[in-house]
Each structure stands twice: as C-alpha cells, then as structure tokens.
Amino acid sequence: MSEVSTSRREVMRALTVIPSIIATTAAASAATGLSCIPAASKDPAWLALLDDERRAAAVASQAAGAADEAFGHFAKARASFMEGWQAEWDDKFGRPHKFIDARPTHEEGDERVNAGIADYNAFPTMMKEKRNQTTAALNTQYGVQETEEVWSAAHDTRMGAIKAIIAYPSRDPDIIAHKLGLLIEHFGDEEGDLKPLLTSITGEA
C-alpha cells in the first residue's frame, strides 16, 4: 500500500476540489432525476473510514491522557528531587573547605587537604550523574517513555485514518467539505484559502 503524502499540495490534489465539477455534478443529478440515489457520503466504504477515524481518535485521546498523567507524576517527583539537588549544589559548589572538613578524622595535614580537593573536583561530575540517574529512574517508575510511545503509535494511527479519509476519491460536496474540515483542523490553513472554499461548499461561515 502506497503511503499518502502529507504535503499540503498532495492533500489538496487528493481532495479533487473543482467548483465547476461540484456544480456540474449537482446539476446533472437534478436534470436526470437521480437525486433519489444515495449520496456518496452514505457509501459504506466512506462510512467505514469515518468509523475508523473516530475509533482512532478515541484511542489517541485516551493514550494522550495516560501520557500526560504519567509525565505529570514524573515532573512532580523530579521537581521535588531537584529542589534537594539544587540545595546541595548551592551549599557545596565553590566551597572546597567543606569537602576537606568532611574527610575522615584520621587524615591529617596535606593528606586531608589533597583528598578533600580531589572530592571537590569530582563533585560536579558526581552531581550530574546523580541527577541523570534519578531522572532515568523516575522516568521508568512512572512509565513516561512507555506511555509516550503508546500515544505516538496511537497518534500515527489516527493520522493514517485521516489521510485515508482525505485520499478517498469522491466529488460529493459533503465528502469534500468533511475532508476540508479535517485538513484545516489538523494541517492548518496558513495561506487562508481553505476556509473560504469550505464556506463556499457548506454555505456556513
């Protein structure tokens, strides 16, 4: 199965939006008395795509909530840890005498001073490792990476469902309007030409 391009140009091409075609299709239906034929928007294949997107959206929303909750717990725990970490850093950094004083009492003279200075020089690396190890442990404890990966997969699935909707071949105005709505919602309308087009189809501002 070929991948649907996410570029705006390709998405617009997939919409097959040509106002004259829309008008011609409507006029032809009225002229031939075919207005009683079910619209393309009632096509089971189209409705199945909509159902797929709705299900994917629900799963993605649930996964996003779980990821947000996990990160919230992680952030709170890390902030508490970092408060103590920062206090220790502020108390000891730039104060080598604290490390000298902390050496065992049996050490004296140059031995004590040199060992204390060595401890002081190792302090920044030790603190960095302590911070990184605790951050990694909290990440694992609260499942931040796992829930993020689940959300990412669910999001990709939903984007795939949206792309399938946009790529659905149809000239039905209702379907085109739905595609435009999704396109604007998820890909934006930086050039400002999609919303007026959607309004021209739906008649709603």
User: Digits of tens for pLDDT over the chain (205 positions)?
Assistant: 334 444 444 444 444 433 333 333 334 333 333 333 334 568 889 999 999 999 999 999 999 999 999 999 999 999 999 999 999 999 999 999 999 999 999 999 999 999 999 999 999 999 999 999 999 999 999 999 999 999 999 999 999 999 999 888 888 888 888 888 888 787 776 666 556 666 656 555 5
Give the amino acid at 143: G
Give the amino acid at 173: P
pLDDT, position 189: 65
E-strand stretches of 109-178: none
- On whether the pTM is more than 0.75, the answer is no
pLDDT, position 127: 98
pLDDT, position 57: 95
Q: Is 41 buried (19+), middle (13-18) or exposed (0-12) by CB count in 10 A?
A: middle
Distance in angstroms (rounded) separating the CA atoms of residues 202 and 198: 6
| Dihedral angle, C-alpha 168, 169, 170, 174, nearest 10 ° | 20
- The gap from C-alpha 203 to its chain's centroid, in whole angstroms, comes to 33
